[in-house]
Chain A
């Protein structure tokens, strides 16, 4: 079954989304991620969407939800690597991802979370 890999970097988890998201994949990701946060005692989650050229309202909401779930488990989420076109689309859709921290790239995201590797 198709799965999005979750990498552990110290106390952080890195999720790199590189394929088109659909319902099932998003559900699996949320399952996996929450489980891993608990298992690894992670304090931060980086969601890298630099490979996505298109983000629709579904993925936007999925990211928001995932961030909210991580927050409940006491892990901060940073969305990194958003393409300019994607940012414009999300704003036009009215999805400004309030409550989600954003950073330009993974490096910035890590320093935002206050960790050094």
Chain B
């Protein structure tokens, strides 16, 4: 009898595909996974495909080197699987359970088929265990990657959402800042402000920092940079919405806002802007 590593696993997979999948489903249900009819069909399909790829990959070898090209199909399948799961909001445990649930039924069938060769049985079980651990890690890794992509996309969206530049009046723009100002956001804020200055030909930009929770030296520096850039484009800036604590912090930090007009509220800043641009509003 040829007792090449992995040979019996291939045989077991080939001969018991149907019952393997049945037991897999049973196993998954016993654990945390909730399965409706559709999900069950999907799982069965994925399991079939996985078993098929595994059969090919194990028989071709190298057995435990998941990086090699023999495992391309398997890797691709698991990648898609975990990414879908991540998007559907499954937990990582639920995702990995799919892989780990294969172990028990496989052990069972291996035991049945190798009952007269305990030495080889234990070797094959060890191999299976190692292999499925690797596959499990792979699913977790791609699950994590998918989640990271989601977070990255959300970050991007947040960046765009949180920096609107609005035109208040002819020649007057307002830039209501909300949230902390880091370098990446300053860059976006600066770009959209300057773009809007070009589009509208504004003379005054009011930067409202009511929604900025804290102002440290870095944030102040970013603000000053934005103001300097706007000035180079021929627009003056007014900072408004400075809360009492923030005024205190700015002075304590020794930040120099001497050359910038500052106002407590957006309304005050707007009045100044109107005066500077030669417009006025009166009650009728």
Contact = CB atoms under 8 A, between A and B. Distances in A.
Interface of A: 79-80, 82, 84, 86-88, 90-92, 96-97, 102-105, 108-109
Contact of B235 (A80, A104, A109): A104
Given A88-B190, A88-B191, A91-B225, A82 B232 contact: yes
Contacts of B197: 84, 104
A90 B232 contact: yes
A104 B194 CA distance: 10
A96 B228 contact: yes
B228 A84 contact: no
Given A91-B225, A91-B228, A84 B195 contact: yes
Interface residues of B, number: 17
Contacts, number: 51
B136 interface: no
A91 B190 CA distance: 11
B85 interface: no
A79 B194 CA distance: 16
B231 A102 contact: yes
Contact of B232 (A97, A105, A108, A109): A97
Contacts of B230: 87
Residue picked from B197, B225, B231, B233, most chain A C-beta under 10 Å: B233
Given A102-B233, A104-B234, A87 B194 contact: yes
B234 A84 contact: no
A96 B230 CA distance: 10
Contacts of A90: 229, 232
Nearest to A108: B234
Nearest to B259: A98
B276 to A, nearest CB: 13
10 contacts: A79-B232, A88-B187, A88-B229, A91-B229, A92-B225, A96-B228, A96-B232, A102-B234, A104-B235, A105-B201
